[in-house]
Amino acid sequence: MLRSPSGVIGLIILLLAIALAVFGPMLFPNSPWRMVQRPFLPPFTLSTVPLGTDALGRDVFAGMIFGARVSLLVGLVSTLVALVVGLPIGAMAGYFGGKVDDALMRFTEFFQTIPSFALAIVLVAILQPSIYSIVASIALVSWPPVARLVRGEVLSLRTREYVQAAVVTGQSNTWIILREILPNTLSPVIVLASLMVATAILLESSLSFLGLGDPNLISWGYMVGAGRTVIRQAWWITVFPGVAILISVLGLNLIGEGLNDALNPRLSREGR
């Protein structure tokens, strides 16, 4: 992983974002909702509000820091939930095959046929916007690719000799899936997961942009959405959080690429 330069850049970006999210609020304890200065103060004019203020005089920089928490947290947690749902479904479908496979895959396809963003909007709207409903709906629309990927991997692994050997020695299905098969499917899943975090951040931002974010938490998408209408008067309200979304998603994509290079033996042997 460290041999791929893009992966290193991605990792640095991610670590910076995490550091900002974890330690930022300690260094800048100002609430991002507090009206601290006059509205529409341009950036770089006052050192106390380095990135200017928004339409209500709230600190854009504080919003960036607190927004990082929400964006990263939603990205990570919803990806974890999606993995928790997708992994067992994919593994069972691939391992047992037959009717189980059919049933589980039709179920998965049911979710895949609905445009994921539209489904996420509907879910959040029905459940009332809150951080929990957002994480749940993002997880719910992003697990099908995990299930399909794991199923494919499991399908090819279950015919291997060491799996057959485990079956012959009478080990239980659960044991075989957990000990023999799943560990070997992990590398593509990890790559997929890193990209899913990026997608989840984008989804959360889009939901917040549309006004479906948690009204009690500031997030980058919310800032872009709230500032969008005044973009002609005050570009900085939208541009800074927009750039933050761009950079963090880019960083996660670079990490995904780096991981792919590092974990895929065929690619690394070709020596890039």
Partner 1 sequence: MSKRVLLGLLLACGLTAPALAQEPKTGGAINVVIQPEPPGLMMAMVQNGPVQMVAGNIFEGLLRYSPKLEPQPELAESWSVSEDAKTYTFKLRKGVTWHDGKPFTAADVLFSVEMLKQTHARARNNLAQVDKVEAPDDTTVVFTLKQPFGPFLGIFEVGSMPMVPKHLYEGTDWKTNPYNNAPVGTGPFMFKEWQKGSFIRLVKNPNYYEKGKPYLDDIYWQIIPDAAARSVAYETGKVDVLPGGSVENFDVPRLSKLKDTCVTGAGWEFFSPLAWLWLNNRQGPLADKRVRQAIMYAIDREFAKDVIWNGLGKVATGPSASTIKYYTDDVPKYPYDPAKAKALLKEAGYKGEKIRLLPLAYGETWQRWGEAVKQNLQDVGMNIETIATDVAGGNQKIGDWDYDIAFTYLYQYGDPALGVGRNYVSSAIAKGQVFNNVEGYSNPEIDKLFADGAVATPDSKRKEIYEKAQKILVEDVPVAWMLELQFPTIMRCKVKNLITTGIGVNDGFKDAWLDK
Binding site for partner 1 (CB under 8 A): 31, 33-35, 39-40, 55-57, 125, 128-130, 211-216, 226, 229-230, 232-233
Nearest CB to partner 1, comparing residues 207 and 259: 207
Q: Which two tokens stand for residue 74?
A: 């939603």
Q: Which residues of 167-196 are buried (b: 16+ CB within 10 A; e: fewer)?
A: eeeeeeeeebbeebbbeebebbbbbbbbbb
Q: Which of 35, 25, 37 is nearest to 62 (CA)?
A: 25
Nearest CB to partner 1, comparing residues 130 and 253: 130
Q: How far is the CB of 73 from partner 1 (least distance, A)?
A: 18
In the chain, alpha helices (H): 5-27, 60-96, 98-113, 116-127, 131-157, 161-168, 173-175, 182-209, 220-228, 236-263, 265-269
Q: How far is the CB of 232 from partner 1 (least distance, A)?
A: 7
Nearest CB to partner 1, comparing residues 37 and 268: 37
257: left (phi over 0), alpha (psi -120 to 50) or beta: alpha
DSSP string for residues in 56-73: TSBBHHHHHHHHHHHHHH
Q: How far is the CB of 197 from partner 1 (least distance, A)?
A: 25
Q: How far is the CB of 56 from partner 1 (least distance, A)?
A: 6
Instruction: Please name the residues in contact with 199: beta carbons below 8 A apart, sequence gap of 6 or more.
Output: 142
Q: How far is the CB of 230 from partner 1 (least distance, A)?
A: 5
CA angle 254, 88, 10 (to 5 degrees): 10
Is-contact 76 178, C-beta < 8 A?
no
Q: Which two tokens stand for residue 23?
A: 């330690």
Q: How far is the CB of 138 from partner 1 (least distance, A)?
A: 17
Quote the CA–CA distance of 23 and 67 in Å, as a whole number: 13
Q: How far is the CB of 213 from partner 1 (least distance, A)?
A: 8
Nearest CB to partner 1, comparing residues 33 and 235: 33
Nearest CB to partner 1, comparing residues 35 and 84: 35
Quote the CA–CA distance of 192 and 206 in Å, as a whole number: 21
